[in-house]
């Protein structure tokens, strides 16, 4: 005789099957509905037409999230061969042609079906600012050639223009803080220090900054629901190439045929041409009246003397404000951490001096011994993997960077460690280009976007738990129809 299981009634079996199907259906719908879609991207292209060279950056972001919530990241970069577009003043059409290779690369990287909707921008910085001052029509012709070249590609061309120094500084700050997720989260921001070839920028938020003291240094933003009052200044001619010209001009103002330069290694010697040295608005006014065609440039390798030469390029006496950096430019008290990029990074990385926790005096001593190293020895160690021009200039550039930071911007041995030398943040280059594109495409909203209250996994778990609970409740509510278990075994 078998005992009959009271649960094996048609009703309970039907309820169980329906319940299980309902739960599976509910969870499946929740998972499918909230499953991240197969990623499709949108793209934007920015050309950084700098004084020393042009670089192309391609950014991408999830297509369904271009409404302010998706993360924009750098997908690709391309370094244009040759010099910056301002160097083509005498043959403007070559400025346009120089961009061809990188633009063709962009055509390959951006999927063809996205070409026509991909915005393409070109922003020119200090090299073109200088050319514009020196020769307006040459600068216009360079732009015409560049525009013509860019319009021949299948992207949505949005124009080429010269960025003001203020914009360059502010967009660099936006890039750094966007990539670090500081803007979205409303965290304390990082200041931006950018050292180019022809200009240098400093940008930071200071709570002690009274805009009325120097309105031209202020930029205000409302980003993700937070207000920022940014201090920014760009020093034209204080990029590392132009400042080297100024240092050489200082040492050749009497028109000598030989100079012994403390900023170059002992044993370094080259011949330089007076006309090409003084061929820049940064130094043209100081050209000696009587000078030979060339001069012999010899290195001495003396850091302390080099620092004196560099210091003489900063006027730190005249200041009509409560506080200045140099050359009579207002600067509020430094505040917070700083990211130093472009040539700051290239130079300090080469010199192995990116660790700012090392005492500033030790950093100077290390640089002093590098500067004192004979040129032959330096070449032997590095010439196989570093351009000779860069190699010859690292002693000068390192000295300039330390002097600019301490004598120019007033970083002290205590605040020096607030600086971090950076090249990339989360895979994207630090620089003004990303901030520029985010701004032009309105990709950073003024107000914080609404975000779903729960992450996807949390949402699915809650739906599952509720479904199971409902099912248990349903079973319990059917208690009256549950088959009773009698103590007497049923006889089948
Ligand atoms: O912003 P502007 O002033 O227009 O200049 P840029 O856009 O051309 O400036 P970059 O940041 O590209 O480069 C800054 C400088 O660093 C130099 N540079 C680039 N790579 C370098 C390296 O590996 N070592 C040393 N210097 C380097 C370059 O020649 C410039 O003088």
Task: State pLDDT tens for residues 16-32.
Answer: 777 677 777 776 766 66
Three-state SS string across 111-136, please? Answer: CHHHHHHCEEEEEECHHHHHHHHHCH
198 marked ligand binding residue:
yes
Asked whether residue 130 carries a pLDDT value surpassing 70, the answer given is: yes
446 marked ligand binding residue:
no
Q: What's the order of all strands across the beta sheet hosting 41-49?
A: 73-79, 54-62, 41-49, 119-124, 156-162
Strands 338-342 and 419-421: parallel
Q: What percent of the chain has pLDDT over 90?
A: 79
Q: Using one digit for the tens of pLDDT, what is the confidence trace for 69-87?
A: 668 999 999 999 999 999 9
Q: Using one digit for the tens of pLDDT, what is the confidence trace for 349-394?
A: 999 999 999 999 999 999 999 999 999 999 999 999 999 999 999 9
Beta bridge partners of 157: 120
Residue of minimum CA distance from atom 24 in ligand 1: 346
Asked whether residue 163 carries a pLDDT value surpassing 70, the answer given is: yes
Looking at residue 35, what is its pLDDT? 59
Q: Which is nearest to 472 in space by CA: 10, 5, 23?
A: 23
Q: Using one digit for the tens of pLDDT, what is the confidence trace for 103-112?
A: 999 999 999 9
Tokens of 35: 């499953």
Counting ligand 1 atoms within 8 A of each CB, the residue from 82, 196, 432 with the most, and so the one to mutate, is 196
Given a contact cutoff of 8 angstroms between Cβ atoms, the answer to whether 45 and 116 are in contact is: no
Looking at residue 462, what is its pLDDT? 72
Q: What percent of the chain has pLDDT over 70?
A: 87
Higher-confidence position of 9 and 419: 419
Decide whether any atom of ligand 1 lies within 6 Å of the 398 Cβ. no
Indicate the pLDDT class of residue 456, thresholds 50, 70 and 90: low
Average pLDDT over residues 177-204: 97
Average pLDDT over residues 339-347: 98
Dihedral angle computed from the Cα positions of residues 376, 381, 386 and 387, in that order, rounded to the nearest 10 degrees: 10
Decide whether any atom of ligand 1 lies within 6 Å of the 50 Cβ. yes
Place of tokens 């170059």: 264
Strands 258-261 and 294-299: parallel
Overall size of the chain counted in residues = 492
Q: What's the order of all strands across the beta sheet hosting 338-342?
A: 218-223, 226-236, 199-205, 191-195, 338-342, 419-421
Counting ligand 1 atoms within 8 A of each CB, the residue from 239, 339, 386 with the most, and so the one to mutate, is 239
Task: Reduce the DSSP state of residue 258 to 3 states and report it.
Answer: strand
Looking at residue 469, what is its pLDDT? 78
Task: Reduce the DSSP state of residue 160 to 3 states and report it.
Answer: strand
380 marked ligand binding residue:
no
Looking at residue 1, what is its pLDDT? 46
Given a contact cutoff of 8 angstroms between Cβ atoms, the answer to whether 30 and 459 are in contact is: yes
Ligand 1 atom with the shortest distance to the CA of 49: 7
199 marked ligand binding residue:
yes
Task: Reduce the DSSP state of residue 67 to 3 states and report it.
Answer: coil
Looking at residue 464, what is its pLDDT? 73
Q: Using one digit for the tens of pLDDT, what is the confidence trace for 474-490?
A: 777 766 666 665 555 44
Given a contact cutoff of 8 angstroms between Cβ atoms, the answer to whether 6 and 484 are in contact is: yes
Q: How many CB atoms within 10 Å of residue 476? A: 9
CATH topology of domain 182-265+296-430: Nucleotidyltransferase; domain 5 (3.30.420)
Indicate the pLDDT class of residue 6, thresholds 50, 70 and 90: low
Distance 113 CA to ligand 1 centre (A): 35
Counting ligand 1 atoms within 8 A of each CB, the residue from 127, 175, 193, 346 with the most, and so the one to mutate, is 346
Ligand 1 atom with the shortest distance to the CA of 128: 4
Asked whether residue 316 carries a pLDDT value surpassing 90, the answer given is: yes
Distance 201 CA to ligand 1 centre (A): 13
Looking at residue 18, what is its pLDDT? 72
Asked whether residue 198 carries a pLDDT value surpassing 90, the answer given is: yes
Average pLDDT over residues 87-106: 98
- Mutual angle of helices 100-109 and 136-151, in 10-degree steps: 30
Looking at residue 4, what is its pLDDT? 58
Looking at residue 492, what is its pLDDT? 38
Q: Which residues are marked as active site? A: 168
Looking at residue 457, what is its pLDDT? 65
Average pLDDT over residues 416-429: 98
């Amino acid at each position: 005789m078998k005992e009959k299981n009271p649960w094996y009634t048609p009703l309970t079996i039907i309820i169980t099957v329906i319940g299980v199907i309902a739960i599976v259906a509910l969870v499946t719908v929740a998972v499918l509905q909230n499953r991240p879609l197969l990623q499709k991207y949108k793209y934007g292209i920015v050309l950084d037409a700098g004084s020393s060279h042009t670089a192309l950056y391609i950014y991408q972001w999830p297509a369904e999230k271009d409404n302010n919530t998706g993360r924009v990241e750098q997908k690709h970069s391309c370094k244009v061969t040759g010099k910056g577009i301002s160097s083509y003043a005498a043959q403007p059409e070559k400025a346009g042609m120089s961009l061809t290779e990188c633009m063709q690369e962009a055509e390959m990287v951006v999927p063809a079906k996205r070409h026509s909707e991909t915005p393409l921008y070109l922003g020119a910085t200090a090299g073109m600012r200088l050319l514009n001052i020196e020769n307006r029509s040459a600068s216009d012709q360079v732009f015409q050639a560049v525009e013509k070249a860019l319009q021949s590609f299948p992207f949505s061309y949005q124009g080429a223009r010269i960025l003001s120094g203020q914009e360059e500084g502010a967009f660099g700050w936006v890039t750094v803080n966007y990539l670090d997720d500081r803007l979205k989260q409303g965290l304390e921001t990082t200041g931006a220090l950018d050292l180019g070839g022809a200009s240098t920028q400093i940008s930071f938020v200071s709570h002690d900054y009274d805009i009325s003291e120097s309105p031209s240094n202020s930029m205000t933003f409302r980003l993700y629901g937070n207000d920022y009052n940014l201090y920014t200044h760009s020093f034209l001619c204080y990029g590392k190439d132009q400042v080297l010209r100024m240092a050489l001009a200082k040492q050749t103002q009497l028109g000598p045929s030989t100079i012994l330069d403390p900023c170059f290694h002992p044993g370094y010697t080259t011949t330089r041409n007076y006309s090409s040295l003084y061929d820049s608005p940064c130094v043209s006014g100081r050209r000696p009246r009587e000078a030979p065609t060339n001069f012999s440039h010899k290195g001495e390798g003396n850091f302390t003397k080099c620092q004196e030469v560099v210091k003489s390029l900063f006027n730190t006496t005249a200041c009509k404000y409560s506080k200045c950096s140099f050359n009579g430019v207002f600067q509020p008290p430094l505040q917070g951490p700083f990211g130093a990029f472009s040539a700051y990074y290239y130079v300090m990385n080469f010199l192995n001096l990116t660790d700012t926790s090392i005492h500033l005096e030790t950093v100077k001593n290390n640089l002093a011994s590098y500067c004192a190293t004979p040129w032959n020895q330096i070449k032997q160690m590095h010439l196989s993997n570093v351009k000779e021009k860069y190699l010859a200039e690292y002693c000068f550039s390192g000295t300039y960077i330390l002097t600019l930071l301490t004598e120019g911007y007033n970083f002290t041995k205590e605040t020096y460690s607030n600086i971090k030398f950076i090249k990339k943040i989360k895979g994207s280059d630090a620089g003004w280009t990303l901030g520029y594109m985010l701004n032009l495409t309105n990709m950073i909203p003024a107000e914080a976007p609404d975000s779903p209250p729960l992450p996807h996994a949390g949402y699915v778990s809650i739906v599952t738990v509720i479904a199971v609970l409902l099912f248990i409740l349903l079973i319990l509510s059917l208690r009256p129809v549950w088959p009773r278990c009698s103590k007497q075994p049923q006889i089948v």
